[in-house]
Amino acid sequence: MKVVTTLAQLRDEVARLRTSGAVALVPTMGALHDGHLALVRRARELASSVVVSIFVNPTQFGPNEDLDAYPRQLAEDARLLEEAGVALLWAPSVEEVYPAGFATSISVSGVSEGLCGASRPGHFDGVATVVAKLFNQVQPDIALFGEKDWQQLAVIRRMARDLDYTHPHVSDIIGVPIVRESDGLALSSRNRYLSPEERAAAAALPTAMKQAIARIESGENVPATLAALEAELIRAGFSSVDYATLTDAGSLEPLAIMGNAPARLLVAARIGRTRLIDNMPVGESL
Ligand code: PAF
């Protein structure tokens, strides 16, 4: 696996990889776990070469968020990627991505606005902007993202369609299912912030979500079920719930009743200083 840190090196290396077939991009912020490696495994099934980017993108962190504390472990990440069969690691500096005078931002209205967009103003502008840059830099044939950030995936899909990334590059944006611990907690680089007590309590999130989904699927009142889910999380040790919302799976419009279209339960909740997000399909078993 080659590791490149400048755009000039990246372009040379990607041109070389492209001669042997399709190139897949897996964008990450590092601190890799098995959820990221599942993206790499899927990418290897779909393309001849896999490029992984590691860039802790400052523009998607709010002023009081964890940019400085965000885990950085490039050497360990590189070892995991090499073992996973990645061809190229793109690990630019902040200056390489945002040179002095950088003044452009991409804002995706609609899907960016509620849910995490409401409690993290500017977050999805930062995500859309850096992902658009990564698409331009690498010009992959396909790109893969985890379904754990369901809203992020919707924002990126909208941005790619609106800005015509889907031709000739990035012809497919692939969502890869969430990887979970044995107690159901979704893998996240931020899980390492949890104390042992918080980690134990955090398992209440997927458990309470599954219970709420069973109630919604059996026809119980949606707002009352979501209120009960929030109360259950607080009882289990979460300090606050940013949102617990049933949405249309595609548009992310909130739903007060379960219809026939695919729906998704999305939750963001805080435990100690850590904000956890999760999402699950609703109505699939009906
Ligand atoms: O999901 C992430 O790790 C980041 O938001 C992404 C897509 C790499 C953009 O910085």
184 found inside a domain: no
To test the pocket of ligand 1, the residue of 66, 70, 112, 127 to mutate (highest count of ligand atoms within 8 Å of its CB) is: 127
Task: State which of 142, 176, 210 marks the end of a domain.
Answer: 176
Closest C-alpha to ligand 1, atom 1: 28
pLDDT tens-digit readout, 256-286? 999 889 999 999 999 999 999 999 999 987 6
| Centroid of ligand 1 to alpha carbon of 149 (angstroms) | 9
261 found inside a domain: yes
pLDDT tens-digit readout, 25-76? 999 999 999 999 999 999 999 999 999 999 999 999 999 999 999 999 999 9
Looking at the structure, do residues 165 and 214 belong to the same domain, yes or no?
Answer: no
Task: State which of 176, 210, 236 marks the end of a domain.
Answer: 176
Residues 6+ apart with CB under 8 A from 77: 30, 31, 32, 54, 89
Q: Give buried/exposed letters for 36-46 (b at 16+ CB in 10 A, else e).
A: bbbbbebbbee
Least confident of 82-91, 118-127, 163-172: 163-172
Interatomic CA distance for residues 210 and 230, integer angstroms: 13
Looking at the structure, do residues 144 and 122 belong to the same domain, yes or no?
Answer: yes
183 found inside a domain: no
Tally of structural domains, the chain: 2
Residue 284: its pLDDT value, please? 84
| Centroid of ligand 1 to alpha carbon of 30 (angstroms) | 9
Mean pLDDT of the chain: 97
240 found inside a domain: yes
181 found inside a domain: no
Looking at the structure, do residues 35 and 92 belong to the same domain, yes or no?
Answer: yes
pLDDT tens-digit readout, 89-115? 999 999 999 999 999 999 999 999 999
182 found inside a domain: no
Task: State which of 120, 149, 176 marks the end of a domain.
Answer: 176
Could you list the active site residues?
A: 36
Residue 27 Cα: closest atom of ligand 1: 8
| Centroid of ligand 1 to alpha carbon of 61 (angstroms) | 11
Closest C-alpha to ligand 1, atom 3: 28
Looking at the structure, do residues 155 and 240 belong to the same domain, yes or no?
Answer: no
Structure tokens given for 74: 């490039």
Looking at the structure, do residues 122 and 257 belong to the same domain, yes or no?
Answer: no
Q: Which residue has the tokens 């790109």?
A: 143
Looking at the structure, do residues 7 and 129 belong to the same domain, yes or no?
Answer: yes
* CATH number reported for the structural domain that contains residue 232 in this entry: 3.30.1300.10
Looking at the structure, do residues 165 and 197 belong to the same domain, yes or no?
Answer: no
| Centroid of ligand 1 to alpha carbon of 204 (angstroms) | 26
Looking at the structure, do residues 171 and 193 belong to the same domain, yes or no?
Answer: no
Closest C-alpha to ligand 1, atom 5: 127
| Domain ranges, residue 274 | 189-280
Looking at the structure, do residues 7 and 122 belong to the same domain, yes or no?
Answer: yes
Looking at the structure, do residues 172 and 204 belong to the same domain, yes or no?
Answer: no
Q: Edge-to-edge strands of the sheet including 240-248?
A: 240-248, 263-271, 274-282
* CATH number reported for the structural domain that contains residue 25 in this entry: 3.40.50.620
30 found inside a domain: yes
